[in-house]
Amino acid sequence: VILVTLVLSTHHVVTQRVDQAIQYKALEEFYHATGGPTWKNNSGWLDGPPCGKDWRQIDNRVWHGLICNLENGVTNMNLINNGLKGALPDS
């Protein structure tokens, strides 16, 4: 039973890292395609993980406009009136 649990836990961690890498890449492409450097507020963008390092930390830095779940996955974006320009990337 312990071996099975360990294997499942390891698989979950690997899957989560892959998902976060894909999420980061998509958000990075979104940032550049919509003029991220010229947004009114781009605080935190491309500076560490999108949802911060750990939601339990007081100084956790989430990229401006993102709403994240407890697993550090982005669930929503709110970048209204933030000066975005350009086309959305395919990713």
What pLDDT is attached to residue 90? 85
DSSP state of 47: S
pLDDT at 81: 94
The model's pTM is: 0.74
d(CA 66, CA 64): 6
> How far is residue 13 from each of residues 16, 38, 55, 66, 88, measured CA to CA in Å?
5, 35, 16, 22, 30
Under-50 pLDDT residues of the chain? 1-15
